[in-house]
Amino acid sequence: MRTETAGITRANEGLDGITWNILGQIYVPKTLTEHSFSWHATFPPGTFVPPHAHPTQDEYLYILEGRLDFWLDGEETSATPGDTVRLPMGKPHGIFNKSGETAKCLFWVSPTRRLPDLFQGIHDLKEQTPDAVVALSAQHEVNFLPPPAA
């Protein structure tokens, strides 16, 4: 794991030049230590992160552009620029861009745990199929919820 150093991660750069494609979204890592991990995310219209929970991390989003819709512990809500979204450890949540426009936000989790490894693993999948992403996520402390009954 990295030791934090003083400095600036520039707007269009990720740590070590990394950019991940995760389920159609673009994630650019900005900070990484064992205690905290942050990344800039771009959500094109219609992209989403299915409902899941992080049993070992608190997760946060700060909305920079656009609107994101959320399923938070069974309730639907949305967030717009300037809003901070709090996703406590163990609470189920899903993130959806239903706005028809690109949304951008800054995510961070604490502690870091295995999330950067998960993102690299998903990025490296030949096909990001739901079953492959769910199986890999379970190995990295992110638990996707079963789809709702039809």
**48-96 tens-digit pLDDT:** 999 999 999 999 999 999 999 999 988 999 999 999 999 999 999 999 9
Task: Return the higher-pLDDT residue of 8 and 60.
Answer: 60
How far apart are alpha carbons 117 and 138 in whole angstroms? 12
Task: Output the pTM of the full model.
Answer: 0.92
Q: What integer pLDDT is reported at residue 148 of this predicted model?
A: 60
**117-126 tens-digit pLDDT:** 999 999 999 9
User: Residue ranges of the domains in the chain?
Assistant: 15-143
15-143 topology per CATH:
Jelly Rolls (2.60.120)
Q: What's the mean pLDDT when you consider all of the chain?
A: 93
Count of other CB atoms within 10 angstroms of residue 54: 22
